[in-house]
Structure 1
Amino acid sequence: MLDLLLISVVVLGIGGVLYSYALYPFVLFVVAAMAQAKRDAAFVFKKQDRRKTRAQAQDLPHVAIVISAFNEERHIVERIDNILGLDYPADKLHAYIGSDGSKDRTAELMARFDDPRLHALPFVENRGKANVLNDLVSRVQAPIVVFSDANTFFATDALRRLVEDFEDPKVGAVTGELRLNGSGGDNQDSLYWRIEQFLKFFEARLGGLLGANGAIYAIRRELWMPLEPDTICDDFCVAMNVAAAGYRVVYEPRAWANEDTPEHIGEEYRRRVRIGIGNFQALIRHPEYLLKTSAATAFAYLSHKVLRWIAPHLLIAALLASAILALDSWAWALFTALQILSYAAAAAALAATNRGV
């Protein structure tokens, strides 16, 4: 009985990780293809026009871009110029940028701009991004709020593309596409980012898009829910709050922005650790992301997010169970050794990468 339980731990642990990373993309592709085929068949019989038309200036909604900046003197001037130069009616665009107690010249550089569209708020105290976002959004009157970062730069027509999907009253949030610029040809996110874009595209087609890209996404102002002050993954929570409220979160790849990747993998490692903590925070704090969202969103959430978040725990449990089984079986001893070797190889690869190999 004990052996059966231990074997189940190994199979479920390793199987869950393999499913999330290797099998899920194929399952998602098939399910999304079936859903698309159903919509195509309905289109053929209903004869409705599905093509989007570019909105005219008089039809565009008022938009507010919200950015929390901390020690961004390197980017803030170029970022503000980027916003003010967007192809969007000047009387319908406002930007709310808050310096979150920056220790450099961010606040000073923001103050140099004299444009009625820019609302520069030099907060003296460092309160954290969630608090700054709560403060900034509370000042917004526009029906559409666009969130971004100080080191991100929008394509000229990004806003127009982003707001088009809000013509559908069922759409509550729209996330654009972030294009990463590698530094010195060492783009740490390249393969990962392509896989994530693949998953995002088909999850959106299925109606189960998860969260948003913090660099470029928008929501209806009426759906904003103030964030807990210690929220780490704010973009994920903001978009999932919209999904939990019964609205669709859609992906608009034509609305894109550029951002540089970290120059060193150490920076990316620290960022991922912080995001990992934020993931567990969201998992524990917001059960409604699983219980009150659509079936498609719940399916994607479990497969793409939750299983990945707990993958290390599943692998550790599988290793421990294998080690116990190895006490009485050479086959399990070999399997346990293979697991240990795989982790040792990963550690060696990381060490080599840190040395610049």
Structure 2
Amino acid sequence: MIAIVVFWVVALLLGYTYVGYPALVLALARVRPRPVLRGDTQPAVTVVMTVHNGAGELAAKLDNLSSLDYPRGRLDIVVACDGCSDASAAIARAYVGRAVTVLEYAERRGKAACLNDAVAAATGELLLMVDVRQRVEADALRRLVSCLDDPTVGVAAGELRFENPETGFAASVDAYWKYEKVIRLAESASGSAIGVSGALYAVRRRLFPMVPAGTVLDDVFVPMQVLRAGHRVVMEEGAVAWDRPSHDSTQERGRKLRTLAGNFQLVSLAPWLLVPGVNPAWLRFVSHKLLRLLSPWLLLAFAVASASLAGRHGIYQLAAAGLALFAMLVVLARIVPPMARLLPVRVASAFAHMNVYAAQAFFTWIGNRRLHLW
């Protein structure tokens, strides 16, 4: 009897997490859309970028930011160098494109501390938050600023796309991000998204909160604080930052463990996120973030329950067979990389890896208090 209850409760929770919640926000976006009132003003913007030993990419990134389609006198850049032991600060100081302010710190303090100082040094009405690695499309800033002409919008987020994601493990990473993008766009269209990509988002400077020292997920903490202040967080699909996908699971594991462990940290730093009413996007936060952290343990319980009940009814046999097929697709993606281009294999591989990382992330958070040092 216990195994039957576990099977069905877990099946419902997993179904809601990965199918039900996305279907819910997609339906809300269609039935009760909240369009953004875009404009064409050009307020002053300060680009904020924190760097740790980014000399190999910084010059190209500054060139990229200088090429943005925005009036030269309305855009400046603040670069915060977090304990860099390379030439990052010298490269930023020597740059002759857009106006650049350089903040240099001898010791590594983490991104959050640098962000707070960089925002304090900013002068623009709006902040454009970027990372050093990604290439931003020329029209991205204009698109984000247009969204912020709507007085109800506090954060406008761009989208992350991957260059050459067709083969190997990169195909699985790309499959995950396409799924994530659908959910974020639906959340945005029906009200607010609950997180953004730190690679590209714009926020009103007056709404930018003080980020607690050591925060890993500033790109979730900041939007949730803006939401709490009564403003929307929207996603602008055409504002694009291009990134390089992980081409093997080891590389992706490092990125995802830090991000997923950051979700555990986030709840400890801002427990109000767990309180309905205090968190205006409580259902979205729990559905999109917390249930995914619980997912690997739900899958384990589902597998045990399915195996123990397989001899009792065909539906449990079907569930056990489905899990076996899923495992076979994951193995296939690993031993025959070209197969990863097939959609079922890509989806299975992405789902498996994200859940393995989510399971490991809890222990990473418990055991590594230096996650903020990137």
Give the TM interval when normalised to the shorter protein: 0.7 to 0.9
Whether the 8 Å CA contact 1:246–1:293 is kept in 2: the answer is: no
Pick aligned residue for 1:12 from 5, 9, 18:
9
> What TM-score comes out, normalization by structure 1 length?
0.83
Q: 2:266 aligns with which of 282, 306, 311?
A: 282
Give the C-alpha shift of residue 284 in structure 1.
3.8
1:25 to 14, 22, 25: 22
Q: Is the 8 A contact 1:241 1:289 kept in 2?
A: no
Matched, 1:81 2:51: no
| Distance in 2 separating the partners of 1:274 and 1:9 | 31
Whether 1:231 aligns to 2:239 is no
Q: Is the 2:159–2:239 contact (alpha carbons within 8 Å) kept by the matching residues of 1? A: yes
1:143 equivalent to 2:140? Answer no
| Cα distance change on mapping 1:237 and 1:335 into 2, 3 Å | same
Does residue 1:218 correspond to 2:202, yes or no? Answer: yes
Per-residue Cα deviation, 1:28-75 (whole angstroms, up to 9, x for no partner): 222221103xx79xxxxxxxxx8745x2xxx41111111111222221
Are the aligned partners of 1:244 and 1:288 in contact in 2 as well (CA < 8 Å)?
A: no
**1:260 corresponding residue in structure 2:** 244
Q: Which residue of 1 aligns with 2:79?
A: 97
Which of 185, 205, 222 matches 2:189? 205
SS at match of 2:177: helix
Q: Which amino acid aligns with 2:301?
A: A
Uncovered stretches (5+) of structure 1, i.e. residues with no partner: 41-49
The answer as to 2:101 corresponding to 1:119 is: yes
1:270 to 254, 275, 288: 254
What does the per-residue CA deviation read over 1:138-194, in whole Å, with 9 as the maximum and x for residues that have no partner? Answer: 212322111110012222222121111222222111101222112674433222222
The one-letter code sitting in structure 2 at the alignment partner of 1:331 is R
Describe the shift of the 1:14–1:103 C-alpha distance in structure 2 as closer, same or farther (beyond 3 A).
farther
8 A Cα contact 1:176 1:254, kept in partner:
yes
Q: TM-score w.r.t. structure 2 length? A: 0.79
CA displacement, residues 275-322 of structure 1 (integer Å, 9 cap, x when unaligned):
11011222343243353343xx33322322221121012223334555
The separation in 1 between residues aligned to 2:288 and 2:29, in whole angstroms, is 14
Pair 1:348 & 2:331 matched:
yes
Post-superposition offset of 1:263 = 3.2
What's the RMSD between the two structures over aligned residues?
2.9
1:77 shift after superposition: 0.4
Please say which structure displays the higher CA radius of gyration.
1
1:168 match: secondary structure: coil
- Where in structure 2 are there 5+ consecutive unaligned residues? 341-374
Using the TM superposition, give the Cα deviation of residue 122 of structure 1 relative to its aligned residue in structure 2, in angstroms: 2.8
| Identical residues among aligned pairs (%) | 30
How many residues are paired up?
A: 334
Task: Determine if contact 1:265/1:354 at 8 Å carries over to the other structure.
Answer: no
Tell me the distance in 1 between the aligned counterparts of 2:336 and 2:58. Answer: 31
| SS in structure 2 at match of 1:262 | coil
2:93–2:101 CA contact under 8 A, matched in 1: no
Match of 1:70 among 52, 67, 76: 52
